[in-house]
């Protein structure tokens, strides 16, 4: 009997590793059919999140129109709880920053038609060390989250007590599966043990990188690290190069546009990391580009990749539903340049004739194209097109 289980597990693992998208073995909560969209407190508020910020952010998701575009999760990151568990061993919200408690906050967020996310850690304490982790308390904490009406768990990797990583993440996955409420499971293991190869069975997304920082170098390095795992992503489970920095003010508008475009093409979670209560119109314009969001949320769920590179000139591409292809021409150098995408590099037959749609200019290129497309691209900027094969 033991032998049969061993065999079955080996077979499942092997299939998960080698199976193409569509036959992957997936976590059974049914969530994440497209990459998750929403907001998270960390990139802007760090340790200073409060229930007031979360409530006002939910309001702003509606008033800015972001919720209509698919942004739905409002996620609290680290530092929401008291340092110690209560008398019954339950996590308790910080009485001064979350005086109404998480249940009341979840009710409020739900009343807006949005979903509430929370944070914990697969260790003894969270990364800030101001609150307990869930290691050894997986079932109790999962039940607590469900009883509060939580819809999403980001699960960090600090203070691990030298316990096996896969087991730590798997135990929370099993605990979540037992609470009778679908809870999106976002693993934040920083890509240390190549989670793309084992996480699809237990989670809806998994970080492939360490934390992003609000600068160009950090952003492009997260994109490159995430790119390596493209073939493991698909409906139900996504690679996560970390949350968006768009709107946090240390990159240029063109750089933030590139950041958002590449995240969308990579089928990365689109979790806004700025203060949406007071964002600029430029930030809102980037975050609410519906044509780019549609690429991210495309039903095919295939992660686009870097397909060619000459120095700092890069072409990224990926298939979309209905035989379309999305491409990004990305100039990472310090001067503007012409960049060419060749059909042979982006998965189109050489004889294909296509129409091209510019997703940032919201216009169609004149005429049809065959063999390649070329455009001038400013320093650190990108051009993003959808190519649609002509019907004849």
Ligand X SMILES: *[C@@H]1O[C@H](CO)[C@@H](O)[C@H](O)[C@H]1NC(C)=O
390 near ligand X (CB under 6 A): no
| Residue closer to ligand X (CB basis): 63 or 361 | 361
Span of 32-40, 60-68, 305-313, 315-323 interacting with ligand X by CB under 6 A: 305-313
Find where tokens 């249940």 sit.
Answer: 103
351 near ligand X (CB under 6 A): no
Q: Which of 68, 163, 178, 277 binds ligand X (CB under 6 A)?
A: 163
Q: How far apart are the first and last CA of the chain?
A: 58
HSE-up of 47 (CA within 13 Å, CB side)? 7
316 CB-near residues (< 8 Å, 6+ apart): 262, 265, 304, 305, 306, 307, 327, 328, 330
Contact positions with ligand X (CB under 6 A) in 68-107: 79, 82-83, 94, 96-97
Look up 211 and say whether it is catalytic. yes
Instruction: Report how far residue 9's alpha carbon sits from residue 370's, in angstroms, rounded to the nearest whole number.
Output: 48
Q: Which of 24, 168, 257, 306 binds ligand X (CB under 6 A)?
A: 168
User: What residue is closest to ligand X based on CB?
Assistant: 311
Which string of DSSP letters, residue by residue, matches 321-353? GGG-EEEEEEE-SSS-EEEEEEHHHHT--TT-E
Contact positions with ligand X (CB under 6 A) in 199-238: 213-217
| Residue among 24, 100, 1, 86 nearest 55 (CA) | 100
| Residue among 265, 268, 270, 262 nearest 238 (CA) | 268
310 near ligand X (CB under 6 A): yes
Tell me which of 107, 211, 345, 358 is the catalytic residue: 211
Contact positions with ligand X (CB under 6 A) in 107-136: 130, 135
29 near ligand X (CB under 6 A): no
Q: Which of 331, 343, 354, 384 binds ligand X (CB under 6 A)?
A: 331
258 near ligand X (CB under 6 A): no
Query: 156 with 126: CB under 8 angstroms?
Result: yes
| Residue closer to ligand X (CB basis): 41 or 64 | 41
Span of 9-17, 111-119, 221-229, 330-338 interacting with ligand X by CB under 6 A: 330-338
Q: What are the helix (H) ranges across the chain?
A: 2-18, 42-45, 51-63, 101-111, 138-148, 165-177, 216-227, 253-265, 281-287, 290-296, 343-346
250 near ligand X (CB under 6 A): yes
57 CB-near residues (< 8 Å, 6+ apart): 39, 41, 74, 275, 276, 277
376 near ligand X (CB under 6 A): no
23 CB-near residues (< 8 Å, 6+ apart): 15
Instruction: Report how far residue 303's alpha carbon sits from residue 233's, in angstroms, rounded to the nearest whole number.
Output: 6
Q: Which of 4, 86, 111, 311 binds ligand X (CB under 6 A)?
A: 311
Tell me which of 141, 156, 240, 275 is the catalytic residue: 156
> Helix, strand, coil proportions of the chain in percent (round to 5)?
35, 20, 45
Closest contact distance (angstroms) between CB of 238 and ligand X is 22
| Residue closer to ligand X (CB basis): 16 or 81 | 81
Span of 145-153, 232-240, 273-281, 308-316 interacting with ligand X by CB under 6 A: 308-316
Kindly report the backbone phi and psi dihedral angles of residue 380, in degrees, each rounded to the nearest multiple of 5, phi listed first: 65, 10
Q: Which of 19, 53, 313, 353 binds ligand X (CB under 6 A)?
A: 313
| Residue closer to ligand X (CB basis): 135 or 183 | 135
Chain residues binding ligand X by CB under 6 A are: 79, 82-83, 94, 96-97, 130, 135, 160, 162-165, 167-168, 171, 213-217, 250, 310-313, 331, 333, 335, 337, 358, 361, 363
Catalytic residues: 156, 211
């Amino acid at each position: 009997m033991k032998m049969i289980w061993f065999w079955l597990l080996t077979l499942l693992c092997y299939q998960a590793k080698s199976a193409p998208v569509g036959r992957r073995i997936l976590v059974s909560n049914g969530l994440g059919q497209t990459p998750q969209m929403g907001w998270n407190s960390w990139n802007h508020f760090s340790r200073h999140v409060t229930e007031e910020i979360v409530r006002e952010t939910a309001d702003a998701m509606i008033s800015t129109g972001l919720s209509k575009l698919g942004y739905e999760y409002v996620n609290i990151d680290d530092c929401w709880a008291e340092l110690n568990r209560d008398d019954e061993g339950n996590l308790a919200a910080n009485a001064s920053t979350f005086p109404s408690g998480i249940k009341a906050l979840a009710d409020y967020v739900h009343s807006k038609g949005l979903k509430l996310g929370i944070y914990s850690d697969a260790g003894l304490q969270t990364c800030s060390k101001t609150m307990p982790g869930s290691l050894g308390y997986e079932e109790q904490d999962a039940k607590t989250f469900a009883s509060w009406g939580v819809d999403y768990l980001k699960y960090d990797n600090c203070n691990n007590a030298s316990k096996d990583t896969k087991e730590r993440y798997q135990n929370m996955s099993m605990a979540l599966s037992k609470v009778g409420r679908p809870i999106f499971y976002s693993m934040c293991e920083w890509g240390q043990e190549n989670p793309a190869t084992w996480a699809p069975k237990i989670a809806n997304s998994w970080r492939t990188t360490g934390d992003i920082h609000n600068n160009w170098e950090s952003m492009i390095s997260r994109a490159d690290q995430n790119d390596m795992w493209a073939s493991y992503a698909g409906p139900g489970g996504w690679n996560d190069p970390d949350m968006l920095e768009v709107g946090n003010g240390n990159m240029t508008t063109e750089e933030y546009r590139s950041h958002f475009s590449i995240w969308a093409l990579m089928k990365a979670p689109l979790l806004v990391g700025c203060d949406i209560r007071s964002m600029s119109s430029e930030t809102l314009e980037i975050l609410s580009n519906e044509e780019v969001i549609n690429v991210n949320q495309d039903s095919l769920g295939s992660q686009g990749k870097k397909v060619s590179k000459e120095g700092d000139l890069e072409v990224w591409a990926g298939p979309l539903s209905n035989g379309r292809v999305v491409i990004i021409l990305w100039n990472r150098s310090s001067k503007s340049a012409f960049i060419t995408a060749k059909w042979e590099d982006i998965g189109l037959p050489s004889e294909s004739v296509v129409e091209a749609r510019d997703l940032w200019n919201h216009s169609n290129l004149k005429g049809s194209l065959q063999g390649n497309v070329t455009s001038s691209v400013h320093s650190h900027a990108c051009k993003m097109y959808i190519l649609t094969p002509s019907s004849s």
